[in-house]
Amino acid sequence: MRFSCLSTLFLLCTGLYLNGQTTTRTGQSFPETCIGEWTGNLEIFAGQERKEQIELSIRLDPPDSLGYLSYTLVYFGDGNIERRPYTLKPHERPGYWYVDENNGIVLQARVMDRTLTSIFKVKEQVLISKWTCQGDTSHWEILVYPDLWEPVGETEGEEITASWPLSTQSAVLERVR
């Protein structure tokens, strides 16, 4: 497949949005709102140009006896199938999670409102991953920024810096079970 390691890590972080113990406006709480299998098309953009569209499937299993949740991302592109298994582990603070990539990398995530969010850095790029589940639809998004910050102004004596986004990955997924 054509997407890079950064793309994969970014997608993984998006899965981090499943943080538990945070109640949604509908009364359901995470991770219950996201348990199941979801499919849809993942669109990968660099600036305004769509670079790729592939099928994405996300499966989140109910918690085991330790409260851990197995979750798997499956990418279908260019005739290839790529499976990425992860484990979501609850943090001691409600709404906080660890995303274990099962390879020595463990990311942090937090549920805010109805969205599991993770922010991490790979090489010189900052990735923000978000996953929101509501009813039978979920939204998965990864934003990639260079770790290059330019001064853009000042407020109350504090410098404001900004960075231009490099790419986005987003999918609207439908629950299939």
Model confidence pLDDT, tens digit, residues 60-103: 999 999 999 999 999 998 889 999 999 999 999 999 999 999 99
Output the average pLDDT for the chain: 86
3-class SS of residue 1: coil
Q: Is-above-0.75 flag for pTM?
A: yes
Number of residues written out for the chain: 177
DSSP string, 33-64: GG-EEEEEEEEEEETTEEEEEEEEEEEEPPP-
Are 144 and 165 in contact by the 8 Å Cβ rule? The answer is yes
Is CATH 3.40.640.10 what the domain over 5-175 is classified as, yes or no? Answer: no
